[in-house]
Amino acid sequence: MNVFMRWFHKMGSPKYFYEVSGKMIPWFMWTFIITLVYGLYQGMIVSPPDYQQGESVRIMYIHVPAAWMSMFIYVVMAVSGLISLVWRIKMTEIFVISSATVGASFTFLALATGSLWGKPMWGTWWVWDARLTSELILLFLYLGIIALHSAIEDKRVAARAISILALVGVVNIPIIHYSVEWWNTLHQTSSVTMTGKKAMSTSMLIPLLVMSVSFKLYYGAVVLMRARAELLERDRNTRWVEEVVQEDTK
Amino acid sequence: MNEFLAMGGYAAYVWPSYALAFILLVANIVAPMLQRKKTVTEIARKLRRARNEQK
């Protein structure tokens, strides 16, 4: 067994996870704040207005990283769901529900900022094109997962149910990604691609990527905070939780 | 400064975007903190009651 697998197994122990994640959260939080400040400085002050879109282009530094996060978190959630279903690991079960609210928030943010950007640029708040519609479906998937989880009393059964829903919904992710290529959409095609085809000036690319890193660090912090809270609730009748509570309320 | 706030005439679109982002980012930090606190208080109360019954 290599080092990573050993660590992964250790993290499967709720008590160990609770302790280690408690130490990790401040690191995520501070690196998030630092990258956020730098990203905002680059995006609001250093980067120039767009030659066609003017200052409205600054919405991009929220919109695009939020949209990336909406898909990134969904994939993390679905992978956690798969691991939970196959190996019945409690910790990954908790990551599924812990990711759902923050994922839904980023999806809503992507849609809302897109709307706020669409109005001045396209002349409309909303169109039923493939990109916007598939992203809206993503929001409904997240909300469905949250609703399903709260509807089932037994949390282990609930976790299994939402893991299945998360896995089924993963089909939507490639649809969102390729929607701008497969269909004729009002939404533009990707400006940033893995192949390195450059469709954006560096002065705009920097804040975009910094904000994207910042949001990922934020997700790291928030998902751990949520997971710890869920864990306490689930394990409320165990010895280690009683010890944690006694330590906390001293 | 005023020029910066005006966002080249797009203030009504740019600032709400940033404000909404800020609200959602803060909300997702506060919510798990409250959830954890609520659970800890509940368990603490239960533990106290159990200890009192033993006496």
Q: Do A101 and B28 touch (CB under 8 A)?
A: yes
Q: Do A56 and B13 touch (CB under 8 A)?
A: yes
CA distances from A91 to A13, A84, A206, B37 (A): 8, 8, 35, 20
Q: Do B28 and A66 touch (CB under 8 A)?
A: no
pLDDT tens readout for residues A123-178: 999 999 999 999 999 999 999 999 999 999 998 899 999 999 999 999 999 999 99
pLDDT for the residue numbered A43: 92
> What is the rounded CA–CA span in Å between residue A147 and residue A42?
38
Query: Helix A90-122 to helix A155-169 angle, to the nearest 10 degrees?
Result: 40
> What is the rounded CA–CA span in Å between residue A104 and residue B14?
21
Q: From first to last of the 55 residues of chain B, give the pLDDT tens digit.
A: 788 888 988 999 999 999 999 999 999 999 999 999 999 999 999 888 988 888 7
**pTM score, two decimals?**
0.93
Q: Do A242 and B18 touch (CB under 8 A)?
A: no
> What is the rounded CA–CA span in Å between residue A87 and residue A69?
26
Residues of B at the A interface, defined by Cβ within 8 angstroms: 4, 7-10, 13-14, 16-18, 20-21, 24-25, 27-29, 31-33, 35-36, 39-44, 47
A39, containing H or E segment: helix A14-41
What ranges do the domains of chain B cover? 2-54
pLDDT tier at A85, thresholds 50, 70, 90 = very high
pLDDT for the residue numbered A196: 63
- Residue A234's closest chain B neighbor by CA? B39
Nearest to A245 among B10, B35, B44 (CB): B44
Chain B residue numbers with beta carbons less than 8 Å from the beta carbon of A249 are: 40-41, 44
> What is the rounded CA–CA span in Å between residue B45 and residue B42?
5
Q: Do B17 and A54 touch (CB under 8 A)?
A: no
Instruction: Please give the distance of CA A184 from its chain centroid, rounded to a whole number.
Output: 27
pLDDT for the residue numbered A194: 67
